Amino acid sequence: MIKTSSYRVPLESSPHERTFMQWPARSRIYGGQSALDEVRSTIALIARSIARFEPVVMLARPEQQDAAAKALGPTVEVWPIPTEDLWCRDSGPTFAMPQTAGPLTVSDLGFNGWGNKQSHADDGQIARRVGERLGLSVLANGLVGEAGGVEVDGTGTAMAHESSWINRNRNKGGKAEVEHLLLDALGAERMIWAPGVKGADITDYHIDALARFVKPGQVVIQLGDTLDRSDPWSAAAFQTYEILKAARDAQGRKFDIVVIPDPVHIRSRSRDFVSSYVNYYACNGAVIGAEFGDDKADEKARAILQQLYPDREVVSLNVDPLGEAGGGIHCATQQQPKGAA
C-alpha cells in the first residue's frame, strides 16, 4: 500500500504522455448491434482526432483487437486488455504523480459499475491491468467511485457532487470518511461539495458533465438561461453554481467562473441525451469538444473554449451516439500525465 498523500492527480491540461480509451465490446449495453456500431465509429473518430496531438492507446478485448485496430487505423495503438463498456474516465486508470521525484502510480478508485448498476467483471479490473502493464504501483484505499465524478485543479482543490460519492451504492461511510478517502486518493487538500442528483442517471450526476477546472482558480460551468425549479437537473446545476460562487480553493482564492450556455435546438431526439459542452477533453495542444447541431450555441461554446485555452486548437466533433449512450468525450478518455513510467 502506497501512502497517497505523497502523490497528486494533476490538472487534466498538464502535459500528457498518452491518452487511454476503451473499445466498446458488448452490444447489449447499447441496445443492439446497430447502436454498438455507431458508438464504435464515434470512439474511433475521437481517438483519431486526439492522435493528431498525442499518442492514443485503445484497450480492447483480445478477440476484438484486430477488428479494433482496423477501424482505428495506424495512428492508434491497441492493447489487449478486456473491456466491456467505453467509459475509460471511470473504469480506466487514474494516474497520480509524486509530489517530489519518482514514477507515476495508478490510483484505483474502485469502479463498481456506477453503484452496481451495470456488470463490470472486466471493466473493474482495467485500472489494475493497465498499471501492471506499465510496471506501475497501483494504490487503493477502499474508496469506491469514478474519476468522472470528481474534478481536480492539480494544486490541492477538488469538487464533486455528493450524489456520486456519498451514496450507499458506492461507499458505506459518512461524508467525512468519504471525503478523507477521496482527498487521500487524489492528493488534494480541500473538497468542494454540491448535492447533485441521485438516481436520475447511471452516474448519479457526475460533476464532469456540468463543471470543470480550466486552471487553478478558474471553473467553467454549463447552465440554462434561467433556473427551472421543476427540473431536478436545472435545480441541481444552479445550486452547484451558487456553491462554487461562494467557495474558495485550497489557496484561499475565490473562483473566476465562466458560464457556457446550454444548447437548445439539438439534433438528437433521445430523451436522456447528454448535451454537455463542458464534457470536453484537454489533450496536448488541443481541446476536443462536442457540437450538437444548435449552430448558435455550438459556436458560442467553441468560442468560449478557445478563449479559455488560447494556445490550443479547439476541435468540435459530432459525438451524438455517445450522448445517447449517456456520456461524452471526457467520459470516454483518460490521460496519462507526462512523467516516468
User: Known catalytic residues?
Assistant: 331
Do 21 and 56 meet the contact criterion of CB atoms below 8 Å apart? Answer: yes
Dihedrals φ, ψ of 235, to 5°? -60, -45
Going by DSSP bridges, is the β-strand pair 76-80/94-98 parallel, antiparallel, or unpaired? unpaired
End-to-end CA distance of the chain: 18
Nearest partner of 209 among 42, 38, 326, judged by Cα: 326
| Displacement of CA 301 from its chain's centroid (Å) | 18
- Alpha-carbon distance of 197 to 188, in angstroms, equals 24
The 10 Å Cβ neighbour count of residue 71 is 20
Indicate the angle between helix axes 65-72 and 33-51, nearest 10 degrees: 60
Dihedrals φ, ψ of 84, to 5°? -120, -65
